[in-house]
């Protein structure tokens, strides 16, 4: 009898609080995602519209969390453009996106001695340039 009344007194309140906690946590995760996306979009717009400044920039993890998983880059020599999937970039998620630029190298116009550097154009949610039009930079090198 005592057990049953405890269930009556505390059970529904407990379940209600557990549900509140779960939904508040989901909202918080969604809010962080929106913030990451907004920050990544703002940075991307700055890069595309004004050519920088590249620093400070969102991190690799923020771009992925915000749904902007593609980085459009352009070779400084031959002007070939490519979309790189950030998911396969072998860097820690805490790495600021601007730091990737220094290790971007174009294969399209590469010679045995020299591979031209590339610049970041913008972030996109989808691949905007087919992979076959570009033979690099390889995500391995980013
Ligand atoms: Zn090139």
Q: Would you state the pLDDT for residue 132?
A: 54
Poorest-pLDDT segment among 29-38, 98-107, 132-141: 132-141
Q: Residues 103-136: pLDDT tens digits?
A: 899 988 989 999 999 999 999 999 988 765 444 4
Task: Quick: pLDDT tens for 6-31.
Answer: 888 899 999 999 999 999 999 999 99
Distance 89 CA to ligand 1 centre (A): 20
- 105 C-alpha to center of ligand 1: Å? 8
Q: Please tell me the predicted confidence (pLDDT) of residue 8.
A: 86
Ligand 1 centroid from CA 38, angstroms: 31
Instruction: Report CA(125)–ligand 1 centroid distance (Å).
Output: 24
Nearest-angstrom CA–CA distance, 129 and 136: 12
Note the pLDDT tens digit of each residue in 57-88.
999 999 999 999 999 999 999 999 999 999 99
Q: Residue 107, Cβ neighbours under 10 Å: how many?
A: 16
Cα(121) to centroid of ligand 1, in Å? 14
Report CA(107)–ligand 1 centroid distance (Å).
6
| Residue 137: Cβ-neighbour burial (10 angstroms; 0-12, 13-18, 19+) | buried
Spatial separation of the C-alpha atoms in residues 55 and 78, rounded to whole Å: 25
* CA-based nearest residue to 37, from 71, 63, 12: 63
Centroid of ligand 1 to alpha carbon of 28 (angstroms): 43
Which residues keep their CB under 5 angstroms from ion ligand 1? 75, 77-78, 80, 106, 108-109, 116
Ligand 1 centre distance from Cα of residue 61 (Å): 28
């Amino acid at each position: 009898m005592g057990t049953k009344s405890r269930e009556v007194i505390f059970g529904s309140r407990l379940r209600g609080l557990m549900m509140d906690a779960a939904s508040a946590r989901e909202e918080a995760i969604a809010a962080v995602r929106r913030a990451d996306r907004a920050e990544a979009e703002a940075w991307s717009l700055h890069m595309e519209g004004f050519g920088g400044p590249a620093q400070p920039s969102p991190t690799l993890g923020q771009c992925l969390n915000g749904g902007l998983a593609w980085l459009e880059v352009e070779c400084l020599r031959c002007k070939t453009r490519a979309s790189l999937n950030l998911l396969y970039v072998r860097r820690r998620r805490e790495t600021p996106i601007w730091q990737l630029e220094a290790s971007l190298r174009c294969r399209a116009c590469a010679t045995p001695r020299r591979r031209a550097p590339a610049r970041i154009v913008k972030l996109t949610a989808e691949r905007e340039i087919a992979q076959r039009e570009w033979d690099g930079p390889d995500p391995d090198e980013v």
